[in-house]
């Protein structure tokens, strides 16, 4: 068994959730915040059989788009404490960040 943890943009989350559930996958959706942009994003926890990992990755790839986010002049960069950009900065976000983890035990009690 694997846990697929995937971080996506909020605008892709609804369609992704609907498609995963439509394919019979169990999904937990969490509100999260990106450390760099400090903007909301969505994290999905999806527990699957080993053989289902590729199918989940394909759905995530299909439903999640890469987008350019603009940081306004004067926006503070989270990892550069106290440093402010003097111009509009473009940051490419997504489609999705995916972690696949081995699960030692899965139980419902
Ligand atoms: P954020 O941390 O808000 O990052 C948003 C986007 O900013 C990133 O998109 C990347 O393009 C850029 N970025 C992040 N850190 C940067 C840095 N130190 N310098 C320059 N640009 C930087 P993605 O890579 O697609 O990541 C989207 C979101 O996925 C991230 O939001 C974060 O919530 C999560 N994420 C990405 N990599 C992660 C990791 N290794 N561990 C945990 N979460 C991660």
* pLDDT per residue of the chain (109 residues) written in tens, 0 to 9: 999 999 999 999 999 999 999 999 999 999 999 998 889 999 999 999 999 999 999 999 999 999 998 887 766 665 555 555 677 888 999 999 999 999 999 999 9
Pocket test for ligand 1, best of 30, 35, 36 (most atoms within 8 A of CB): 36
Q: Looking at the whole model, is its pTM more than 0.75?
A: yes
CB of 7 closer than 6 angstroms to any ligand 1 atom: yes
CB of 99 closer than 6 angstroms to any ligand 1 atom: no
Q: Which long-range contacts (CB under 8 A, 24 or more apart) does 47-53 make?
A: 47/1, 47/2, 47/3, 47/4, 47/103, 47/106, 48/1, 48/2, 48/3, 48/4, 49/1, 49/2, 50/1, 50/2, 52/25, 53/2, 53/4, 53/100
């Amino acid at each position: 068994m694997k846990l697929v943890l995937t971080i996506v943009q909020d605008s892709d989350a609804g369609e992704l959730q609907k498609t995963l559930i439509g394919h019979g996958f169990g999904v937990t959706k969490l509100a999260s915040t990106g450390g760099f942009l400090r903007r909301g994003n969505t994290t999905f926890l999806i527990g699957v059989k080993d053989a289902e990992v590729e199918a989940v990755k394909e759905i995530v790839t299909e439903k999640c788009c890469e987008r350019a986010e603009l940081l306004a002049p004067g926006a503070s960069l989270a990892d550069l404490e106290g440093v402010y950009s003097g111009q509009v900065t473009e940051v490419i976000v997504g489609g999705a960040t995916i972690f696949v983890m081995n699960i030692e035990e899965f139980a419902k009690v």
